[in-house]
Amino acid sequence: MCKYFSSLSTNILIDIQSIMSYRILSFNPGSTSTKIALYHDECCVFTANIEHSSEELKPFKKITDQFEFRKNLILHEFAKVGIDLHSLDAIVGRGGMVKPVESGVYEMNARLHEDLVLGIQGEHASSLGGLLAEALAAQIPGARAFIADPVVVDEMQEVARISGHALFQRKSLFHALNHKAISRLYAKTVDKPYEELNLVVAHLGGGVTVGAHQRGRVIDVNDGISGSGPFSSNRSGQLPAVDVAKLCFSGEYTLADVKQMINGKGGVMSLMGTSDMRKVEHLAMQENDAKAILVMDAMAYNVAKEIGAMATVLEGQVDAILLTGGIAYCRYIVEYITRRVAFIAPVKVFPGEDEMGALAMNGLAVLRGAPVKVYT
């Protein structure tokens, strides 16, 4: 009898949580902007993109030094549009460069705070997301602070970690939030659980990451930050290792210079002098610029090669290939990739990225009773 009433009360609690109304704020700090969005349950009621000029960011030596600067801008934005901070139930920030974790939602705690500040896998603007969420939630009685599917989500199979040298190991650093969100969105369109599908997902944006999703886990993916896989609008991707080593010891470049070549000033930026793919597309499509056409072909060619590689990881058992990210708006690149990989599986295109919505929906799911993970 006691068991029955205990179970009944739990079910009632879950039912109540599912019909309660919640307000969730999401943050996505980038290198030159801070995106914010306010959701009332599943409905987005406010968005803003606060841009930061190079002059504004110049005084800060480290990304975490920007914390107060960005927090004050956010609070100013709230005051300007009349958002009541105390009406929020949860704040979800883009997760940063903490230790490798499984996919999921993590509530902010002391250990997570410490590792976000330290940036134990490197500096990245996304680390500010959890720190900002925690600081603002601390001012609101009952509000909770989370991060969700950070870039360090690691579900790689062990064989995928082995590189060609004992000093180096392949890492899982990718657009986990958008990969997972788009995969679940596609799963809904075919009325199947994400955990029952095999997918190859290619995020095409400032960085390009291509992952093999096997029944809900990303068992292999290229490192989109440190330099592997296809090149993108501003990242070099895989480079000839010996040539890079020679350059490093030439005395002409600093470590910071080389890092910028790999991430920030590489890829299309290096080849075309701009990272704006709209400009490159215009040159190729409207002005028939031969170099622009070749660079776009090369980008698409390399993405297609990586998709083919990930198909082998799944032993050819691929339910669909998903193309997403900002560059997926480029019809020319999408058509080029599709021609080369459609023999593997159907290609589905989800242009852009709804990372703000993905963050908010992860927070909403926890408020409605979904499990939350603990960072240790």
Question: In this predicted model, what pLDDT tens digit does every residue of 285-309 receive, in sequence order?
Answer: 999 999 999 999 999 999 999 999 9
- pLDDT, mean over the chain: 91
In the prediction, which pLDDT does 8 show? 34
3-state SS, residue 156 = coil
* Model confidence pLDDT, tens digit, residues 123-150: 888 899 999 999 999 999 999 999 999 9
In the prediction, which pLDDT does 3 show? 30
The encoded tokens of residue 241 equal 């290792």
When pLDDT is cut at 50, 70 and 90, the band that residue 1 belongs to is very low
* Model confidence pLDDT, tens digit, residues 330-352: 999 999 999 999 999 999 999 98
In the prediction, which pLDDT does 7 show? 33
Distance, CA of 251 to CA of 215 (rounded, Å): 48
Residue whose pair of structure tokens reads 């960072």 in the numeric block: 375
Phi, psi of 235 (to 5 degrees): -125, 140
In the prediction, which pLDDT does 225 show? 85
Distance, CA of 111 to CA of 93 (rounded, Å): 16
Distance, CA of 32 to CA of 128 (rounded, Å): 13
Residue 12 reports pLDDT greater than 90: no
Query: Of all residues in the chain, what percent carry a pLDDT higher than 70?
Result: 95
| Domains of the chain, earliest start first | 13-154+356-367 (3.30.420.40), 176-352 (3.30.420.40)
pTM of the model: 0.87
In the prediction, which pLDDT does 354 show? 83
pLDDT, mean of residues 10-24 = 61
In the prediction, which pLDDT does 55 show? 86
